[in-house]
Structure 1
Amino acid sequence: MGPLSKLNYKIISHIMGLLLMVNGGFMLLSSMVSWYYQDGVLHQMLSAGAVAVVLGGVIMFYTKNHRKEVQKREGYIIVAFGWIFMALIGTLPYIFTGAISNFTNAFFETMSGYTTTGATILTDIESIPRGVLFWRSITHWIGGMGIIVLAIAILPLLGIGGMQLFAAEAPGPGGDKLHPRITDTAKRLWLIYVGYTLAETILLKLAGMSFFDAINHSLSTLSTGGFSTKNASVAYWNDTPMIQYIIIAFMFLAGSNFVLSYFAFKRKFQKIFQDEEFKLYSILVVGLAAVAALLIYFEADVSFSSIAHPMVWGPFESAVRHSLFQVLTIITTTGFVSADYTLWTPFLTIFFFGMMFLGGCAGSTSGGIKVMRHLIMIKNGVLEFKRTLHPHAVLPVRYNRKAVPQPIVFNILGFFILYMLSFIIGVLVFSWLGLDFKTALGGAASTLGNIGPALGDLGPVDSYAYLPSAAKWWSSFLMLIGRLELFTVLILLTPFFWRNR
């Protein structure tokens, strides 16, 4: 790799300009929502979109003669700074409309959107103009879409956090590849992403949601984001169980590997049933929901006190529905709320806190550590016992009947250590900034895992509005590094990244 002066700044700037233009295009789309609903902020939304499009266009014009080649170091810069630039320009609709006039709050809300965290500083969501609410949901959808591209096309090339293994399962050589070209693979997964979004919108509309609420919740669900159009989140529809079951189904799909959805549409069901990560993911969802449902049902006096209209179809059904909903919303890092689980039993509060460290499947839009990493770490741990007894035996870790290269195993172990270290530092900084222990613990786990609801003063029915400004910026940083697989951002903070070779 060449010295710092050899960095291809033009292509970095060119891609940043493209991202700004894409952002601006979605802002203009959001302005059409303002026009349709006559929410009074049409001109402000148009102005925000115009600024983003023009600024992006100017940058692209002055960098059009760039060298096409992107090296690894440039890739890291593009990925990390791409999210930061999108968040900065994404504040414009909030600021121009006055929906969020404070820049720190606007940046927090936008970063929470793009990282599909779903943490919010808004205390009265239903008073926000509809065009702005749609933009807020769109930031989720763009972020989720971007994560698919990262997982398929960019992170494997950079060697990030075990995603090479996912690349080997999806677009790499062998019978499992979707298409020989990475760009075509990404297009196919985007098509599934868009298709699921449309399907959920239609089903939610048929189940009783307004079209506006349906499209917004679909954008949030498929991106595993969690922004809602209601102050009570999905608990607003506790008296309409079918709506919650539809969201449950699509949260499960959004938390699974999108490549498996492709195989399902191609009727290659055997590939799905043989996938070890998907099997463990399914077992975790069903098993953890069953435990929660039994505890909710037998502690009904305590548990149902936090659920409005809890027993539309009977107490047992309600216990099953709310446990399944809350388990999925935490594991997939979606962050919707159907009930305040911190008002259930103390055991269940800790139970849900532990789930914040699981995450969905690799190749999904969910955040967190990911089920695949947990699976490989467990397998490697079991093999360590065997290696102790048989020190000369060759015992590779196997995943989906294939030996996992040792560097990937080390990468995953390194990722886990770095993740837990980031969590501990996150808690310490929050405590230093004045948060109590429970709030600091939950806030660090939730923002780093891109979950949204946390513990203490940041519980499922609370807002992040009352955090000190410094804590909001720290939250934004944790959201960013958690969403981009840690290494992508943290490597930019190391001196050897910028050192001449």
Structure 2
Amino acid sequence: MNIRMTVFIISKMLGVEGALLLIPAFVALLYREESALHFAVVSGFLFLIFLLAGRKKPGKRRIYKKEGLIIVGSAWILWSLFGALPFFLSGSIPSYLDAFFETVSGFTTTGSTILTDIEALPRGMAFWRSLTHWIGGMGVLVFVMMLTSLDDENSMHLMRAEVPGPEADKLVPRARTTAQILYAMYFVLTAVEVVLLLFGGMNFYDSLLHAFSTAGTGGFSNMNASVAHYDSAYIDGVITVFMILFGVNFNLYFLVCMRKWKEALKNEELHIYMGIIAGAVALITVDILHQYGSVLHAFRYASFQVAAIITTTGFCTADWNLWPEFSKAILLSLMVVGACAGSTGGGIKVSRLMILLKSIKQEIKRMLHPKAVTLVRVNGRKVSGETMNGVYIYFICYVMILLVSVLLVSVNDFDFGTSFSAVLTTLNNVGPGISGVGPVENFSQFSGLSKVIFCVDMLVGRLEIFPYLLLLSPELWRRKF
């Protein structure tokens, strides 16, 4: 393992986080808040780390997939540890563990919170809280790669370790250019949403924060009642549309930019993703119709919550704890499904479920026709054996982590709905669950141990398990560096 190159890249990434912290520091200064000093102190410390370990590139620069996974897994933990310090030092979140939970929830775009009064946060802190969503949505490493050269020789190993989905592909030959293209599309969509929210009557500050959270599919709002605070059909509609858009594979937007409309629109995962949304909205609309009195009102709330859950954004305009059990069961199922691969959304991903279902169909065909040659294809292309094995292993690990986490969290002695959905929503980076962690509740009542488990689940869910399995491997640490 190339430990020097690993330290060099991580230090460079911490330097970028130091620069990032100057943005909320500036916001805090604009509103004349003391928290600007706390952002500046943490920023200065991260710059110092960069100057000591991230300026001189080592002579031996080659890294491989193993180092890429370790760098990504370690960087996300370190960004969260340092990103939590302004919350803690300013007293906005008095417990460092709670501050760490909130920051992990931000960077992983989960949106679960321990805050009981969100509106009491200083504006600089609320800005940082939502900005973590925007950075984490596309990935902290992709963000760093977009700004700096980082390490052009090995960048694809790093990108593959972070981009969500069973496969990660370059849009263009250079990984840094790929990162810049991704963020250009990401920035444009975010800016358009900000403008549309301004037309709906939101002020610029609120529009920016809600656009950050929508883009990252995170769901942090600066209002205690989330998007329900605005009680606007127009705002609900804008955010619903953009949540769905940010749940689409960004490679398809690139194809559209290249005027390859047919290739983009024929995407199999996109069809299934939109089909699931349409089906879930229709079923929930019918199921909650008696509660809202009109089809339009039921459709408005059903479509918003379906979009918020399948894209793992987690905003809310209604307390679905009060909805019928059938609707809640649909929403819990959507938490598992998640958005498309290559999007900012979480969950298992539609593409993985496609591969799993097609594998089952292939196995049935083999039983019926033992001599037939059967292949699993997605978008007309054969799915490689390596990709299929990766999907199977991911799914097995996912189920094991879910069961173990539920078992450990159940020590708190909350009802099963609370314990199970709390784990499910953090592992899938959704935000709210049902019962005691419903859309109008929070995670403050859980023990310190449970909060640590949730943090692990959020990180594991966002980076899709393998980087942290590697970090926990005894064989890795027994090897001589």
Tell me the TM-score normalized by structure 2.
0.93
Matched-pair contact (CA < 8 Å) for 2:2–2:63: yes
2:364 is equivalent to residue 390 of structure 1: no
Cα displacement (A) at 1:231: 0.3
Q: Mark the CA change 1:442 to 1:32 in structure 2 (over 3 Å): closer, same or farther.
A: same
* Aligned residue identity for 2:220: F
Cα displacement (A) at 1:23: 1.3
2:223 is equivalent to residue 220 of structure 1: no
Separation in 2, partners of 1:20, 1:405: 36
Specify which of 59, 65, 69 is matched with residue 58 of structure 2: 65
Separation in 2, partners of 1:27, 1:221: 21
Separation in 2, partners of 1:476, 1:282: 30
Separation in 2, partners of 1:159, 1:47: 29
* Aligned residue identity for 2:325: P
SS in 2 for 1:361: coil
Name 1:494's counterpart in structure 2.
473
Name 1:477's counterpart in structure 2.
456
Q: 1:340-351, aligned counterparts within 5 Å?
A: 340-351=319-330
SS in 2 for 1:163: coil
Specify which of 57, 82, 87 is matched with residue 89 of structure 1: 82
Cα displacement (A) at 1:159: 11
Separation in 2, partners of 1:147, 1:94: 19
Name 1:210's counterpart in structure 2.
203
Q: 1:191-206, aligned counterparts within 5 Å?
A: 191-206=184-199
Specify which of 166, 185, 197 is matched with residue 163 of structure 1: 166
Q: 1:46-57, aligned counterparts within 5 Å?
A: 46-57=40-51
Matched-pair contact (CA < 8 Å) for 1:248–1:324: yes
Matched-pair contact (CA < 8 Å) for 2:240–2:307: yes
* Aligned residue identity for 1:269: W
Specify which of 252, 263, 268 is matched with residue 271 of structure 1: 263
Tell me the TM-score normalized by structure 1.
0.90
Specify which of 307, 312, 320 is matched with residue 328 of structure 1: 307
Specify which of 425, 428, 431 is matched with residue 449 of structure 1: 428
Separation in 1, partners of 2:297, 2:332: 22
Cα displacement (A) at 1:129: 0.5
Specify which of 11, 27, 37 is matched with residue 33 of structure 1: 27
* Aligned residue identity for 1:281: Y
1:241-292 per-position Cα deviation (integer Å, ceiling 9, x unaligned): 1111111111011111011112223332111221000010011111111111
Name 1:431's counterpart in structure 2.
410
Q: Mark the CA change 1:344 to 1:272 in structure 2 (over 3 Å): closer, same or farther.
A: same
Name 1:359's counterpart in structure 2.
338
SS in 1 for 2:54: helix
* Aligned residue identity for 1:391: P
Separation in 1, partners of 2:117, 2:22: 24
Q: Mark the CA change 1:360 to 1:155 in structure 2 (over 3 Å): closer, same or farther.
A: farther
Matched-pair contact (CA < 8 Å) for 1:256–1:363: yes
Cα displacement (A) at 1:432: 2.4
Specify which of 117, 125, 149 is matched with residue 118 of structure 2: 125
2:38 is equivalent to residue 44 of structure 1: yes
Q: Mark the CA change 1:420 to 1:128 in structure 2 (over 3 Å): closer, same or farther.
A: same
Matched-pair contact (CA < 8 Å) for 1:161–1:411: no
**Count of residues paired in the alignment:** 470
Name 2:100's counterpart in structure 1.
107
* Aligned residue identity for 1:215: L
| Large movers: runs of 4+ above 4 Å | 155-162
Matched-pair contact (CA < 8 Å) for 2:166–2:352: no
Q: Mark the CA change 1:158 to 1:26 in structure 2 (over 3 Å): closer, same or farther.
A: closer
2:131 is equivalent to residue 138 of structure 1: yes
Separation in 1, partners of 2:320, 2:165: 32
Separation in 2, partners of 1:244, 1:148: 31
2:248 is equivalent to residue 256 of structure 1: yes
1:350-369 per-position Cα deviation (integer Å, ceiling 9, x unaligned): 22111111010000011110
Matched-pair contact (CA < 8 Å) for 2:76–2:140: no
Name 2:6's counterpart in structure 1.
12
Cα displacement (A) at 1:156: 7.1
* Aligned residue identity for 1:444: V
* Aligned residue identity for 2:435: G
Matched-pair contact (CA < 8 Å) for 2:321–2:328: yes
- Identity %, equivalent residues: 38
Q: Mark the CA change 1:66 to 1:237 in structure 2 (over 3 Å): closer, same or farther.
A: farther
Separation in 2, partners of 1:228, 1:160: 25
Q: Mark the CA change 1:112 to 1:96 in structure 2 (over 3 Å): closer, same or farther.
A: same
Cα displacement (A) at 1:143: 0.9
Q: Mark the CA change 1:162 to 1:397 in structure 2 (over 3 Å): closer, same or farther.
A: farther
Name 1:309's counterpart in structure 2.
none
SS in 1 for 2:21: helix
Matched-pair contact (CA < 8 Å) for 2:347–2:461: yes
Separation in 2, partners of 1:277, 1:59: 43
Separation in 1, partners of 2:163, 2:252: 21
SS in 1 for 2:138: helix
Cα displacement (A) at 1:161: 8.6
Name 2:275's counterpart in structure 1.
283
Name 2:152's counterpart in structure 1.
none
Name 2:150's counterpart in structure 1.
none
Q: Mark the CA change 1:194 to 1:318 in structure 2 (over 3 Å): closer, same or farther.
A: same
